[in-house]
Structure 1
Amino acid sequence: MASCVPVQAAATAANTEEVCANCGKEGSDEVKLKNCTACFLVKYCGVDCQKIHRKQHKKACKERAAELKDEKLYSHGHERAEGDFCPLCLLAIPFPLKVHSSYNACCTKTICKGCYLATERRALSDICSFCRTPISKTSEEALGRIQKRVAAKDPEAISELGVVHFYGALGLEKDATRAFNLWSEAAELGSITALFKISMAYYRGEGVAQDKAKAIRCWESAAMRGCAESRTMLGCVELENWNFDRAVRHFMISAKMGFKKALDGIKEIF
């Protein structure tokens, strides 16, 4: 049986931050109090006290944990991710990225159309704008370059190889499961692009069992790292659930980053 006995005074004492929320023991060199890691509202002298106090504390803990999560979700990711900037001119590439940029398999860099056209005007269209490697002339050559970067554990190359498998490009057969596994590996190595693709795979059930809860968690993680697409998807989810205030907050963040679909979402609400 646990030795700690709940003390009502512990919850109302003026120095609640320095006493166990369950038994009222004061913190000292002998009694080390530890925060509730979910809400950080109360402290406990041990696991036994935390278990005893759980039923009484559960509601407040859950509410505060949700508040802390929202604070982090809405305060992070207001600036675009590093991969959204051209490595040559250092300017943000307009959305949608695929329309306004070009991906180079040789160095896994995404170059804005402006820098790409500038290279062409200098009669250098047959080499990479960034690393000056000759442009791939065949699918086999392009695939080989991607695989070389994959072997070097380049997260963006791994993510791109996932795209190749997903669409069955460069002579490979379509394989959504293989694509998902590659995106998972790339996401673990830090690719925000891959993290977004994982979320869409979970949401649609492509290459993995459909799990919208996991999709939302991935969107949240990517959004806090500056992924405007993920932030907009979170806004769409909130809109579907009639949480208009939360939807607008997400859409506003994405819209300020230049994502037109987020602006369209705001127009739909108002």
Structure 2
Amino acid sequence: MSDSCKSCPSSGSGCSPDSCGQKPEDVKLKKVLSRIKHKFVVMSGKGGVGKSTVASNIAVALSLAGKKVGLLDVDVHGPSVPRLLAMGGQKPHFGEEVIEPLPWSKTLSVMSLGFMLPDKEQAVIWRGPVKMGLIRQFIQDVAWGDLDYLVVDCPPGTGDEPLSTLQLLGQDARAVVVTTPQGVAVDDVRRSVSFVRQVGNEVFGIVENMSGFVCPGCGQTHDIFTKGGGEALAREMGVRFLGRIPLDAEVVRSGDEGYPFLKVHGDTPTGKAMRTIIEPMLALG
């Protein structure tokens, strides 16, 4: 071993020419990410747009298509993925150096801070550096294995969580930005598109959620929140419009009761709209 190798921080931890001079934790993160083909960060500049519902249904849809998928919830202050997938009360297994993600199915693994909180009433009062450390741990220390897709559900805004997530995942991570049609939401989401570009990542596309309400009685569509705001934003910003999802009472019920909408109602107009969103993702191979 050369003198330079003896002083290398990676010495004795699987040092190689590719990792020489890197910190052991950076080497570990790189190895984990090398086993993930596609990374999607679902985000929005506006709260209450149904981002977690979209993220969880994207992950489920990809897994039902036969892909190996990981779903990571990095919403530290309001982790909702465990409830959306009826996984509340489950606890991950902590090994010596790894955390085992919880299986939703044979092809979908899930990790969230919500699995670790002692009760649902406990507030998480953390500053930025602590949150950043947790997100890094959830990426590099969770035994994700070989994944076709990693879907990350971020909290609203352009703060610590989405910034840390994109920086840790690298510039090949793509953002899926969720909005509702009305102008007050689109204004905030426009900032999300700019944020992703400033960080150096690709905006894969925009989803317009709660776009029209289909009356279960008469079948007519009523544009409660107007319509087309997300599609217009996609044209304005020069990004792909992935599709619109109507406001559907069954989507609300599925989230409250903890079953993925697409698994039960995949053949409904709303289900077909959700499946349209993942077609460009599946086309990546």
Structure 1 and Structure 2 fold alike (TM over 0.5): no
Which one has more relative contact order, counting CA pairs under 8 Å at least 6 apart?
2
Q: Which has the higher strand share?
A: 2
Query: What is the TM-score normalised by the length of structure 1?
Result: 0.29
